[in-house]
Structure 1
Amino acid sequence: MLKKNLIKLSVILFIFMTGCASNSKDVYLFSYFVGNGQDGLHLTYSYDGHQWETINNGQSLLKPMVGKDRLMRDPSIAQGKDGVFHMVWTTGWWDQGIGYASSTDLINWSEQQNIPVMEHLESTRNSWAPEVFYDEADDLFYIIWASTVPELYPEIETSANEKGLNHRQYYTTTKDFKTFAPTELFFDPGFSVIDAAILKTDSDYLMVVKNEMSVPVEKNLRITRTKDLKEGFPTEVSESISGKSWVEGPTPLQIGEYMYIYFDKYREKKYGALRSKDGQNWEDISEMINLPRGIRHGTAFKVSEDILNKLLVLTEESQ
């Protein structure tokens, strides 16, 4: 009990001292899962994008309650102009919907819901890695995910454990997470594609995707850019930017003058990262970052330091 109170006191003292300093600074959070996603949402934070510290002692902040498998894989979080955080996630390996919940503090969450994004196409095999992106220009949320729909894109030759999956990116939009635009095709580059993630830059929108082809082997990251999100992204993508490792779960983040892309080197059981000033020339900084052990596919996003401070207090009080 004494140790617990000392830890809580140190957190409060830290928050008081940082609060007495200059204006609130930007801080970066990273939502992620561990294992198979069965225990739910995890968060880590950083001030520089290199050194990341766990929140809630690395324990789950929200248990999954929806979906056939009751999983919370690939948690993606975006904050709206009203300050509310919206999260979507993969609820199971073979679901036709995705999970959704909202929060004002990343501790207390709304009732979890299933968004039936692909149930209108009965042959849909999966709904994987949904990514939520808030477009300030139109005050509109985009939700993008990967699905295999055999009647639209026939099964292809794959490695034995991938079951012939041939993904394309689909999407819906919403302003309030109560009503949703009809699901439509979002991105079809002519190959099996998953894990699309968008970053708004000063001049355009950058999207990073994974080429999921296994015959011939790809498993790498590609870039495409557009000036107008409504018009979509060019299907002509860059060459691989991620090297020879098999990677997944890219998440882009702007930190100062650099664009960062973090990604899961899932065969090597570690995380990698790239950075670039122009979005064309990428530097591998995998050896310069330190993320929590066991971290899996998630989303990096910026919040105010006030959000982090409240989050640290709330998680300490819940111990």
Structure 2
Amino acid sequence: MLTKRKGMKEQWGRYKAVLLLMIGLMMIFTVAFPNPVRATTSVYTMTAFTNTSESNMYIYESYDATHYGLLKGPAYTPPASDLIRDPSIMKHTDGLYYVVYTTNWSGHTIGIASSPDKINWTFVRNITLSTTTPIAHTWAPEWFKDTNGSVNIIVSLSPGNYENFKPHVITASNGNLASTSWSSPEVLTGLAANYIDTFVVKTGSTYHAFTKNETTKYIEYATSSSLKGPYTFKGTGNWAGWGSWVEGPALIQLDNGSWRMYFDGYADHKYYYSDSSDNFQSWSGKKEITGLSGMVRHMTVLKETGQPGDIRKLESFNVPGSFVRHYNYQARIDASVSPVEDAQFRIVPGLANGMGISFEAMNYPGYFLRNNNGNIMLVKNDGSVAFRNDATFRNDATFKRVNGLANVSWTSYSLFNNPNLYLRHYDQVLRLEPVVTDLDRSDATFREIAQ
């Protein structure tokens, strides 16, 4: 009996030793890699043509659906001297991004292009539409993916003289958008002649259509239990307070559940957005899209959720109230930052190693902080093959979180492939240097503040 108890005691001793070893390893790992990137953000991608070009598509991105930065422009130019008005973007089940667009002022075709990364675009095909009545003008196609999995395009067709536009729908016969056949255009019943720029979203079993009354120049609102109608108008005239001479409505649902509509105030050459938190019954006052109002025209926004990364501000430990920001593409710390987005960064898995982190500018998507001979600069990932093969860029833009050198409850950042070099400020400018003195350690300590 005593021998059995002794054996059990020895086994328990070995178990405790293994358990303590595992706890120790976990603590070491936590110190080496504190605060791994686990958070996610939503990414909003805008496709638009501009006041300066109807033949080039521009791509913008945002992490809050409000402040958009140029991802690439021009990003795509159609073949055969076609236009690319009204580009509408979606992501398909094949993993590719697609835009559908107006090819010309007159005619009966719409165009499709695709991209694997939203940066490099390739012409796919033109779709020729035909109905029992003549089609003189084919405008403003918009993707609509229904809850049954069908892929549809809502398009405005006019029999002639740029008048009497009616919204129609065509449906893909299968998921191969490069070769699928499309149904003949069918009118959305209940939306009378002279309605254009129709955008449809679905909540529950209800289809919501936002469409421009080409006679009164107001964006109006109708609902239906079927995509093809009949639609019943719920809001006409200046029902939402946006005024007249507005067009090109495009909607997305925000993370908080409310809906945002973007629309083109083409009479005053401004672009606006407005929000609804009560299922489209009332809307906030219209606001301009900062930085893009007056430049972009008729656009659509794609929302992608669950992208790795989270928005943070980095406050200096020894200069309280001062934050890391970019200014003329150089990183520095300042107490007063305008616009405030210059001091907000999206912290993502490291470009060179996912165990590290990289800092992407919130208001300049695709631009990352990187080491440049000891200076920290904001440099663009242009999506090119050269960039994808540029290991030096990726290494210089990848850092590792460590416990704060001046205060362990704060954070310091070493270069991932050279842990002896740390981000620190010197005369307000951000640099990458070794730390030796207490002042160095304080200059290299920051606090992440959630946005």
TM-score by length of 1: 0.78
8 A Cα contact 1:221 1:242, kept in partner: no
Q: What aligned pairs does 1:87-98 form with structure 2 within 5 A after superposition?
A: 87-98=99-110
1:1-319 aligned at under 5 Å gives the runs 21-35=37-51, 37-56=53-72, 59-66=73-80, 70-118=82-130, 120-121=131-132, 123-135=134-146, 137-149=147-159, 163=161, 165-174=163-172, 175-176=174-175, 177=177, 178-202=180-204, 204-213=206-215, 218-229=216-227, 232-239=229-236, 240=238, 241-255=240-254, 256-278=256-278, 279-287=280-288, 289-292=289-292, 293-304=294-305, 305=307, 312=366, 315=382, 317=384
Report deviation, 1:41: 1.4
Separation of aligned partners in 2, 1:21 and 1:89 = 37
Residue range with higher mean Cα deviation, 189-198 or 70-79: 189-198
What SS does the aligned partner of 2:233 have?
Answer: coil
Cα displacement (A) at 1:243? 3.0
Which protein, 1 or 2, shows the higher relative CO under an 8 Å CA cutoff with sep ≥ 6? Answer: 1
Give per-residue Cα distances to partners, 1:40-95, cap 9 Å, x unaligned: 21111122222221212xx21111114xx511000001112332222110011002
Q: 1:316 to 1:101 in 2, by over 3 A?
A: closer
Matched letter for residue 247 of structure 1: V
Q: 1:4 maps to which residue?
A: none
Distance (Å, rounded) in 1 between the aligned partners of 2:65 and 2:189: 29
Contact 1:73 1:90 in 2 (8 A): yes
Change (3 A) 1:272 1:242: farther
Structure 1 residues 144 and 107 mapped into 2: Cα distance closer, same or farther (>3 Å)?
Answer: same
Does the 8 Å CA contact 2:167/2:191 hold for their aligned counterparts? no
Q: How far apart are 1:20 and its partner, in Å?
A: 5.0
In structure 1, what is the Cα distance between the partners aligned to 2:144 and 2:83?
21
Query: In 2, Cα distance between the equivalents of 1:203 and 1:172?
Result: 20
Q: Distance in 1 between matches of 2:116 and 2:308?
A: 12
1:155 maps to: none
Across the two proteins, how many residue pairs are aligned to each other? 277
Contact 2:190-2:231 within 8 A present in 1 as well: no
Distance 2:60 2:54 in 1: 18
Contact kept in structure 1, 2:71 and 2:119, CA below 8 Å: no
Alpha-carbon distance in 2 for matches of 1:93, 1:242: 30
Percent of matched pairs sharing the same residue: 28
Secondary structure in 1 matching 2:137: coil
Give the SS at the match of 2:282: coil
Could you list the per-position Cα deviations for residues 172-199 of structure 1 after superposition, in whole angstroms to 9, with x for gaps in the alignment? Answer: 0013221111221124522410001122
- Measured after TM superposition, the shift of residue 253 of structure 1 is 0.9
Q: Cα offset for 1:236?
A: 2.7
Instruction: Give me the whole-angstrom Cα distance separating, in 2, the residues matched to 1:194 and 1:122.
Output: 18
Give the counterpart letter for 1:244 in structure 2.
G
> By percentage of residues, which structure has more strand?
2
The alpha carbon displacement at 1:202 in A equals 5.0
3-state SS of paired residue (1:83): coil
Over the aligned positions, Cα root-mean-square deviation in angstroms equals 2.8
**Superposed structure 1 runs of 4+ greater than 4 Å apart:** 306-311
Quote the Cα distance in structure 2 between the aligned partners of 1:20 and 1:93. 52
Once the two structures are TM-superposed, the CA of residue 315 in structure 1 deviates from its matched residue by: 2.4
8 Å CA contact 1:224–1:233 kept in 2: the answer is no
- Higher Rg: 2
Once the two structures are TM-superposed, the CA of residue 242 in structure 1 deviates from its matched residue by 4.7
SS at match of 2:76: coil
Q: Return the offset for 1:316.
A: 5.1
Counterpart secondary structure, 2:235: coil
Is the contact between residue 242 and residue 286 of structure 2 (CA under 8 Å) also seen in structure 1? no
- Pair 1:20–1:246, CA change in 2 (3 A): farther
TM-score using structure 2 length: 0.56
Measured in 2, the distance between the counterparts of 1:296 and 1:170 equals 22
> Per-residue CA shift, 1:98-122, capped at 9, x if unaligned?
011222212233433110013x557
Corresponding residue number in structure 1 for 2:434? none
Distance 1:64 1:37 in 2: 12
Structure 2 unmatched runs, 5+: 1-34, 310-345, 352-364, 367-379, 388-451
